């Protein structure tokens, strides 16, 4: 059945249609909230919350964009809003204690998905949000600034710091990470 | 070129060179001549390629069951009815006022009419409080977005400044229901704005904030109903 028809049936309260929509898009939705959350338990809550909201408010979806785009954006907003409210939580880098270990890559080694995920999980929330939105989700600095309430320039500088930290977390022994002063 | 530590680029600068090499001509010149920094540049680029290629992730196995358990059981059931509002006599009286106040409030919002002090405090501080995500404003310029958006944000802030609770309903049911009506009117106006700009992040965020606020208030009123039921038994 076409997705448009599934959406129409879901708007009418059809649970089967909802489950088909969920099945088609759940992995993409979970991926973005998991990466933003940096934590399995929080990600499970956020993803669940996003889907419940989506189906409760599916009448707001008018079909101007693909359903997958709509639910992805909604889930991202849900995650960002919830993470913004968790301001009491200290925004610090997490310790590697208790994490699964991974091999540090040689120059030619393939950077694995798990390696990236574990490094992102360790980063401070602010760095992780900008890195995920820009380098994984492909948002512009203007879009990030608008969504997070920061200036595009701030987003840009946060991104460079985040990438640098990410690079160090993945390969702490790299030569440039040990370099001292920059030229500028 | 020598490769002493002090001459190498920082990782932040290497990242900046990947984004805007033309902005950092001196560092770009160093990069072209330095093998160490070139190697780090290619490592960083490889990391970014890996990040951009990250794919989907498998959600928890029981996620759909959990979602389904939280969905409304009846077609078209509104949150207020789902949580059992509008059942006790205090709330039935309040509900009648809600309809009346809602009509007035919706009229004010949709016609851009005066809405009290709240519309005059849409300064940066207010916007920041309501939510950073909506503070920078909408990206398009429909009538709602250009004018009433900031009024709506200020209204939300104003409504949040008076916490919902049982005291409001018991002591001043008119005010409590007017607040609910106001939120409903703002939600309605935001939805209409979304019809012309469905992907606008600011309007989407505002709508989510409004709906959350209304749901929170509805939960508070539910507690008030229970309290009233105990007091008047």
Site of tokens 């008018």: A62
Task: Evaluate if residue A73 carries a pLDDT over 80.
Answer: yes
Rounded to whole angstroms, what are the CA distances from B165 to A4, A83, B160, B221?
41, 25, 12, 7
Chain A partners of B160 at a C-beta cutoff of 8 Å? none
The yes-or-no verdict on residue B134 having pLDDT over 80 is no
Say if the Cβ atoms of B51 and A116 lie within 8 Å. yes
Alpha-carbon radius of gyration of chain B: 26
Comparing A129 with A179, the larger pLDDT belongs to A129
Best residue of A61, A82, A175, A176 to probe chain B, by most B CBs closer than 10 Å: A176
Comparison of pLDDT for B208 and A114, the residue scoring more: A114
- For residue A72, which of A99, A41, A51 has the smallest C-alpha distance? A51
Count of positions (residues) in chain A = 184
- Closest partner residue to A31 (CB to CB) among B6, B56, B207 is B56
Helices (H), B112-200: 124-130, 132-135, 143, 149-160, 166-171, 173-196
Cβ contact (<8 Å) for A44 and B60? yes
At residue A41, the 3 state secondary structure works out as helix
Asked if B57 contacts A34 with a C-beta cutoff of 8 angstroms, the reply is yes
The 8-class DSSP code of residue A95 comes to P
pLDDT at B126 over 60: no
CATH assignment of A105-173, given 3.40.190.10, 1.10.10.10, 1.10.1740.10, 3.40.50.1000? 1.10.10.10
Most confident by average pLDDT, B36-40, B70-74, B97-101, B131-135: B36-40
Give the tens place of pLDDT for each residue, B136-168: 455 544 445 555 666 777 777 666 665 444 344
Probe site for chain B from A129, A160, A166 (most B CB atoms < 10 A): A160
State which CATH number among 1.10.357.10, 3.40.50.2000, 1.10.1740.10, 1.20.1740.10 fits the domain covering A1-86: 1.10.1740.10
Task: Decide if A113 and B207 are in contact by the 8 Å CB cutoff.
Answer: no
How far CA B131 is from CA of A17, A151, A173, B79, in Å, comes to: 34, 15, 40, 23
First to last CA, chain B: 89
Residue boundaries of the structural domains of chain A? 1-86, 105-173
State how far the Cα of A53 lies from the Cα of A34, in Å rounded to an integer. 17
Query: What is the rounded average pLDDT for all residues in chain A?
Result: 83
The pLDDT of residue B84 is above 60: no
ipTM tops 0.90? no
B2-11, B58-67, B191-200: the lowest-pLDDT one = B2-11
Asked whether the beta carbons of residue A55 and residue B71 sit closer than 8 angstroms, the reply is yes
pLDDT level of residue B209 (50, 70, 90 thresholds): confident
* A34 touches B: beta carbon within 8 Å: yes
């Amino acid at each position: 059945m076409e997705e448009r028809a599934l959406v129409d049936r879901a708007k009418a309260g059809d649970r089967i249609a909802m489950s088909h929509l969920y099945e088609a898009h759940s992995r993409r939705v979970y991926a973005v909230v998991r990466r933003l959350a940096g934590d399995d338990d929080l990600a499970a809550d956020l993803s669940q919350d996003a889907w419940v909201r989506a189906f409760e408010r599916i009448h707001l979806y008018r079909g101007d964009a693909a359903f997958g785009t709509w639910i992805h954006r909604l889930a991202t907003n849900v995650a960002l809003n919830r993470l913004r409210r968790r301001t009491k939580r200290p925004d610090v880098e997490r310790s590697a204690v208790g994490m699964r270990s991974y091999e540090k890559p040689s120059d030619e080694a393939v950077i694995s998905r798990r390696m990236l995920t574990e490094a992102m999980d360790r980063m401070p929330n602010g760095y992780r949000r900008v890195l995920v939105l820009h380098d994984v989700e492909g948002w512009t600095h203007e879009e990030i600034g608008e969504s997070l309430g920061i200036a595009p320039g701030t987003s840009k500088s946060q991104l460079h710091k985040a990438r640098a930290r990410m690079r160090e977390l993945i390969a702490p022994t790299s030569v440039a990470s040990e370099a001292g002063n920059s030229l500028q | 070129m020598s490769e002493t530590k002090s001459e190498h680029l920082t990782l932040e600068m290497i990242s900046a060179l990947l984004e805007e090499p033309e902005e950092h001509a001196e560092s770009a010149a160093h990069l072209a001549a330095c093998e160490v920094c070139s190697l780090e540049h290619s490592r960083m680029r490889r990391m970014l390629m890996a990040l951009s290629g990250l794919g989907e992730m498998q959600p928890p196995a029981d996620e759909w069951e959990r979602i389904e358990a939280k969905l409304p059981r009846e077609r078209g059931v509104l949150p207020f009815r789902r949580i059992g509002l509008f059942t006790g006599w205090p709330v039935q009286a309040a509900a009648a006022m809600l309809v009346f106040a809602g009509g007035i409030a919706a009229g004010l919002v949709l016609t851009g009419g005066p809405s009290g002090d709240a519309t005059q405090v849409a300064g940066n501080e207010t916007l920041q409080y309501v939510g950073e995500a909506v503070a920078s404003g909408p990206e398009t310029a429909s009538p709602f977005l250009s004018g009433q958006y900031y009024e709506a944000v200020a209204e939300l802030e104003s409504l949040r400044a008076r916490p919902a609770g049982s005291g409001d309903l018991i002591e001043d049911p008119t005010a409590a229901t007017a607040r609910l009506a106001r939120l409903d009117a703002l939600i309605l106006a935001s939805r209409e704005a979304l019809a012309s700009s469905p992907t606008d992040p600011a309007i989407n965020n505002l709508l989510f904030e409004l709906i959350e606020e209304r749901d929170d208030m509805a939960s508070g009123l539910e507690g008030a109903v229970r309290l009233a039921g105990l007091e008047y038994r």
